[in-house]
Amino acid sequence: MPSNEQRRQAAKRKLERQLARRAERAKRRRIWGAGITAFVVIAAVGLVYWLVNLGPADGEASTSPDKTSPANATKGACGYKENPSEKPPKDVGMPEDPAQTPKDGTVKVTLKTNQGDIPLTLDRSAAPCTVQSIEHLVTSKFFDGTNCHRLTASAGLKVLQCGDPKGDGSGGPGYSIPDELSSAQALTPGADGQTVTYPRGAIAMANAGPETGGSQFFLVYGDSTLAPSYTLFGKVDDPGLTVLDKIAAGGITPGANGGEDGAPAQPVTINQAVKE
């Protein structure tokens, strides 16, 4: 029969075995828990990587332009084109180019000139991409401090041309906008079948050929006969026509094309262009 000492030793060894087994089970649980945690972390990192680098293409995820890019590389409905060779004195970047350019309503702009205020009404339905661009230039203060460099007074062309940051007819905003000619082509046709009449009060984009419009525009103070190659995008309000008549009455400094085409004799400066 075992003695009391032998029974105590046997009980002690049994307790030690139980404690060892418990410790081993606890160790296994810790290993499993660490493994599961590592798996969850790796899976989460992998999901984030997929979303950032391997997920849906930009075109599938969103149709909005990249507003952080000064050149707005993402092209929308208008497809404005950067002109790398043109370095405007004031670089205001390119207009936003959403997939759906606003085509309804009007935009009110006032040219506050040293000769008086010239209020304008821009028509989105006539030329949505052009109005989008002009609105961008106005709100970016691109026109502020620029001169209207050209005034014409011939029988078939009576316009004041503005919007050139250089003031000599060669400047632009650093990008070009698409021609939108449907409204111009719907104007009253001339007898020759090749021209139309841009009526008194019309506002149209100047250009140097197809798809070269930028920031220069002309204000028609008398009916003018032109090819329908100039985007028509709004009208001069009546108070502005009174100011244009005053500018025209001030005369012209003769230019390369003669006495009826040159700089206004009374300089015209757009001190500020304001969206109302």
Q: In this structure, are residues 74 and 66 in contact, taking their beta carbons and an 8 Å threshold?
A: yes
Q: Convert the pLDDT of each residue in 216-253 to its tens digit.
A: 999 999 999 999 999 999 999 999 999 999 999 999 99
| pTM of full prediction above 0.85 | no
Q: Using alpha carbons, select from 121, 109, 125 the residue that is nearest to residue 234.
A: 121
Structure tokens at 166: 């250089």
CATH of region 81-275, choose from 3.40.50.1220, 3.40.920.10, 3.20.20.70, 2.40.100.10: 2.40.100.10
Q: Which residues pair with 161 in a beta bridge?
A: 150, 218
Helix (H) or strand (E) holding 186: none
24 pLDDT more than 70: no
Q: Convert the pLDDT of each residue in 33-78 to its tens digit.
A: 555 555 544 444 444 343 334 443 333 333 333 333 344 334 799 9
How far apart CA 120 and CA 219 sit, in angstroms, is 10
The dihedral through the CA atoms of 22, 27, 28, 32 has a sign that is: positive
- Sheet of 232-236: strands edge to edge? 146-147, 269-275, 106-113, 116-123, 232-236, 202-205, 217-222, 158-162, 150-152, 258-264, 252-255
Q: Convert the pLDDT of each residue in 96-113 to its tens digit.
A: 999 999 999 999 999 999
Q: Using alpha carbons, select from 113, 115, 202, 219 the residue that is nearest to residue 159.
A: 219
